[in-house]
């Protein structure tokens, strides 16, 4: 993903919007209410509505134990023309492993929302999202009342309320929006997400909705979304667990009157969508359950990109690596050992490993939401003011100063750069450390 946010004429082709979110694009409204689904009593149900039918696409969990909302949404997107009016989402109860009754509840949420929102919507024009505890049925009387109240409170500035309502173990909301210039004019890409634990490639316990007022066919939106997810939401991991409910949706309602048509437009729109997805994905990692460090794992020099991704994923999910990171311990042997069990060709005598404080996303100068920042490709040169510490060179200890390495591993943001020395393949993953706080959060989650 390459998003240029400046040009010599002083007219930036892409600008982050202050307080931007899922309703920043034209023609979208949202509302959130407390329906009594969360034990805290906080907001737990939200509706997002497009004033006009929007092209829709989705990417879902690959977990074969899929929640009822996932089954409903897959059917909607596979069986129709991909035109959607609304998304209804609840937090607190996942509606997963609930049998035929749970599927009926998800379908009832479609019908209730379609009947409640302004305009003429059919149930199959409503997508459903749920997150929370697995194995519990939804209290549909509360859900029905919540949908009715939310539908009567829809507002163009309701995206922030939606971002809070969908939180579970999240400690902060996650939203952002970007304005990008196309040949026919400006369009906006905005998004909202939730996620903190049960985060792993092939999606995670995360829900995300991305909206745009650009106009493009369903097939193009689907292809663009899948490409964006591959390099963003599917490159993050907190704990190696993939959920039953993971969903990323994209809606394009064309309200800006600007079509994505030319190759240059398609590149610009792809870059904007990837930037929004990456910002949301990074926000999920930064809010990882019990996490104290945000870690970029960059692997290069693999025989191909797939091999680099396998190595980066193995390092990013290794409990031994993650616990060393939690302790600020530069135990680089664990990193090389993880690379060696990734199932792809490696030669330990060619490996070079460095670590640097910093990395991930640079601070945005264009008004991004406080919990997000401007996406940039991972690089070993992190801009932290200190050069990377080379830990291993050609498979052997590099003679580094132990205190300098310890200082890097004690930083809140760390970049690990592993050069396998075999070819041109490269890949980046983003992960966290693994702390006792993570265990405390998850040891008694349902009791």
Letter string b/e over residues 20-29, b meaning 16 or more CB atoms within 10 A of that residue's CB:
bbbbbbbbbb
Other residues' Cβ atoms within 10 Å of the Cβ of residue 346: 23
Q: What's the CA gap between 250 and 78, in Å, rounded? A: 14
Residue 416: alpha-carbon gap to chain centroid: 21
Q: Which of 152, 375, 391 is nearest to 283 (CA)?
A: 375
Task: Centre a 10 Å sphere on the Cβ of residue 39 and count the other Cβ atoms it contains.
Answer: 9
What does the alpha-carbon distance between residue 302 and residue 304 come to, in Å, rounded to a whole number? 5
Please choose, from the candidates 325, 280, 282, 304, the residue with its C-alpha nearest in 3D space to the C-alpha of residue 427.
304
Instruction: Provide the CB-side half-sphere exposure for 11 (13 A, CA).
Output: 6
Looking at 23, 98, 168, 205, which residue is catalytic? 205
> Can you spell out the DSSP letters for 311-361?
HHHHHHH-HHHHHHHHTT---HHHHHHHHHTSSS---GGG-EEEEEE--S-
62 within 8 A of 202, measured Cβ to Cβ: yes
Computed over its alpha carbons, how large is the radius of gyration of the chain? 22
Q: Is 227 a catalytic residue?
A: no
> Among all residues, which ones are annotated catalytic?
205
């Amino acid at each position: 993903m390459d998003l240029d946010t400046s040009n010599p004429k002083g007219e930036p082709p892409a600008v982050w919007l202050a307080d931007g979110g899922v309703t920043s694009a034209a023609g979208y409204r949202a509302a959130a209410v407390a329906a009594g689904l969360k034990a805290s009593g906080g907001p737990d149900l939200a509706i997002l509505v497009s004033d006009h039918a929007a092209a829709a696409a989705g990417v879902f969990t690959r977990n074969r134990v899929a929640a009822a909302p996932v089954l409903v949404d897959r059917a909607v997107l596979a069986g129709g023309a991909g035109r959607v009016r609304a998304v209804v989402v609840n937090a607190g109860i996942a509606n997963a492993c609930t049998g035929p009754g749970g599927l009926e509840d998800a379908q009832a949420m479609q019908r209730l929302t379609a009947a409640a929102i302004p305009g003429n919507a059919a149930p199959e024009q409503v997508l459903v999202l749920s997150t929370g505890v697995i194995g519990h049925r939804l209290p549909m009387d509360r859900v029905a009342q919540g949908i009715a109240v939310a539908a009567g409170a829809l507002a163009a500035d309701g995206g922030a309320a939606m971002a809070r309502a969908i939180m579970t173990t999240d400690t902060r909301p996650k939203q952002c929006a970007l304005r990008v210039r196309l040949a026919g004019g400006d369009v906006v890409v905005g998004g909202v997400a939730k996620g903190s634990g049960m985060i792993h490639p092939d999606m995670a316990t995360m829900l995300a909705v991305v909206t745009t007022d650009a106009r493009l066919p369903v097939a193009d939106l689907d292809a663009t979304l899948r490409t964006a997810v591959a390099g963003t939401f599917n490159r993050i991991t907190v704990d190696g667990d993939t959920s039953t409910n993971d969903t990323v949706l994209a809606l394009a309602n064309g309200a800006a009157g600007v079509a994505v048509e030319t190759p240059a437009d398609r590149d610009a729109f792809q870059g904007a969508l990837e930037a929004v997805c990456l910002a949301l994905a990074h926000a999920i990692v930064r809010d990882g359950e019990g996490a104290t460090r945000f870690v970029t794992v960059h692997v290069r020099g693999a025989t191909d990109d797939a091999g680099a991704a396998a190595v980066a994923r193995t390092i990013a999910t290794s409990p031994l690596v993650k616990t060393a990171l939690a302790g600020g311990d530069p135990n680089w042997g664990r990193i090389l050992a993880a690379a060696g069990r990734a199932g792809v060709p490696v030669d330990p005598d060619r490996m070079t490993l460095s670590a640097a404080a910093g990395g991930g996303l640079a601070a945005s100068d264009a008004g991004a939401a406080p919990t997000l920042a401007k996406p940039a490709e991972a690089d070993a040169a992190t801009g932290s003011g200190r050069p990377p510490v080379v830990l291993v060179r050609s498979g052997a200890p590099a003679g580094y100063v132990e205190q300098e390495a310890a200082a890097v591993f004690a930083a809140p943001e760390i970049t690990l750069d592993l050069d396998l020395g075999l070819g041109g393949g490269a890949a980046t993953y983003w992960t966290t450390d693994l702390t006792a706080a993570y265990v405390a959060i998850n040891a008694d989650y349902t009791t």
